[in-house]
A and B are shown apart, each in its own frame.
Chain A
Amino acid sequence: MIPPYYLTIGTFVCINILLALSIGVLSGYAGQVSLGHAAFMAIGAYTSALVTRNLHFPFWLAMPTAAFMAAVIGLGLGLISLRLKEDFLAITTMGLNFIVIGILLYAPFFGRALGIGDIPVPSLLGHELSRFEFLCMCLALVAAAIVLLWWLQRSWIGLAWRGVREAEEVAQVMGVNTAKFKIFAFVVSTAMAGLAGSLYAHFLLFITPYDFGFPLSIQILTLAVLGGLGTIHGPVLGAVILTILPEYLRFIQDYRMLTYGLLLVFVMLYQPQGLFGHKSFIMRHLKPRKKSS
């Protein structure tokens, strides 16, 4: 049988891929940056934990409920974003992170600093999922998410999103209701983050507000930035690399935030499209040269 250690890593890779993709959707399609995405993960995690433990929801229902709750707040954020420039939206998302954590820390309903424990082990069709089965389910969800995003990207919605990202005002004049598509990107992005939170809660079976602070938001951002916002493979690769590499380079654990910080700085300075983004150094050497004009 597969050793539990690999099952754990695998599950975290899946969760991180979902988180990285969620940032990718927001940045790549709505052109916004979120510095507080951990807040949506928290909303998803707490919702999922509470509805299964207190309301005895079945796990397969708890997941979409978690995504839904996160998306509702995401919708609110999307509406706010219409009035703010991108850098100020980024700061607002940071503030949102603090506010959400603050509420989770202070409200007795959420267990305050002790968080929520005794989260029921997820079960489908009456059968408690083993770690291995849970991982398989996570992989299936990741695959579904990738397919969904790929499909959206190729559709008119995807084209509208590209217009919003490239030149929002011009897109408007060409008939794109940019507000609607920005909000849609927020909803999709936050729903994914909420889903990731639900998986997290049912994997660890115990969550506290400290799990979802600003440092986590930065880590999520780094996953996506490293691989390249605006593509699908970028965040996936970034998540895989940054989840697995620290396991091999154990000493990095002590310097984690330093590494993430420097990664953000240097990727943005030299390869803002991400290591695997559009026409990045790596991609240019992997793909044969296209005929140029």
Chain B
Amino acid sequence: MKPLLEVEHLTKRFGGLVAVSNVSLHLEPRQILGIIGPNGAGKTTLFNMISGVYAPTDGIIRFKDEEIQGQKPYRIAQKGIGRTFQVCQPFKDLTAVENVLMAYGSFHYDRPGCFKRYMAPQFADKARELLALVGLGDYADWEAKDLSLAYQRRMEIARALALNPEIILLDESAAGLTHEESMELIEMIRQLQKEGKSIILIEHNMRVAMEVSERLYVLDHGELISEGSPDAVQQDQCVIEAYLGSE
């Protein structure tokens, strides 16, 4: 079976700085991948290229057999790749429902139906459903800036889900969560997998990364230094050195 997402020899240079160098990975349908590595390894830059925020300097990104590198972010979102952000970026003055609808609107913006009222029940209810899924049912009408950081994270996930994506990119979703909350997150990720979604997560929280990923990729200084099952990677000498060395 063909991989859902193929990243081949992806490189990103910012002037003289090489943020990502020759990284390749592939994602099967309904798979959960983890990307780990010390700070500054280029993990978020990788996400930025996949979601279209940056155009790669070199390399190819193939989604369902179509090359998407360099395309505009909104196109990639509409095609079915959703993401969250390492530093939460909610639409602060909008409510949680409106935040989710912003993404849900991707099915309406470019159609004649764009003149319809966005808060109509058929749309607003869908947004509330997604928020309930992430446990924010009671906070649906709160303004995003009034939500706690952990809830904003969840809202971002609901928002990404509104795109009805096949792939979800989660950028450090477990950061700052309590042990219980991390377990809830893992449960939610597994649930999403059951529903047919594929997930790539960037994680600093090793427990979460090891627990939920089926396969790990390790980045350091922009390069791929290891890949494989969580157990294999855990024992890989390069990986241990990369982490110890950066302390």
Contact = CB atoms under 8 A, between A and B. Distances in A.
Contacts, number: 96
Given A159-B98, A174-B159, A293-B142, A167 B89 contact: yes
B106 A175 contact: yes
Given A154-B119, A166-B94, A159 B105 contact: yes
B218 interface: no
A160 B105 contact: yes
A171 interface: yes
B134 interface: no
Interface of B: 51-53, 72-74, 77-78, 83, 85, 89, 91-94, 98, 101-103, 105-106, 108-110, 113-119, 142, 146, 159, 162-163
Given A156-B109, A174-B74, 10 more contacts: A154-B118, A155-B115, A166-B91, A167-B89, A167-B91, A170-B85, A171-B102, A175-B103, A175-B106, A177-B74
Contacts of B118: 154-156, 158-159
* CB-based closest 10 A-B pairs: A175-B106, A175-B77, A174-B103, A172-B73, A293-B146, A156-B114, A156-B108, A166-B91, A170-B89, A159-B118
A173 B110 CA distance: 15
Q: Summarize A's interface: helix, strand, loop or mixed.
A: helix
Contacts of A155: 114-118
A65 interface: no
A148 to B, nearest CB: 11
Interface residues of A, number: 28
A166 B105 contact: no
28 contacts: A154-B118, A154-B119, A155-B115, A155-B116, A155-B118, A156-B105, A157-B115, A159-B101, A160-B105, A160-B114, A162-B98, A162-B102, A163-B102, A167-B89, A171-B91, A173-B52, A173-B53, A173-B74, A173-B77, A174-B77, A175-B78, A175-B103, A175-B163, A176-B74, A177-B74, A177-B109, A178-B74, A293-B142
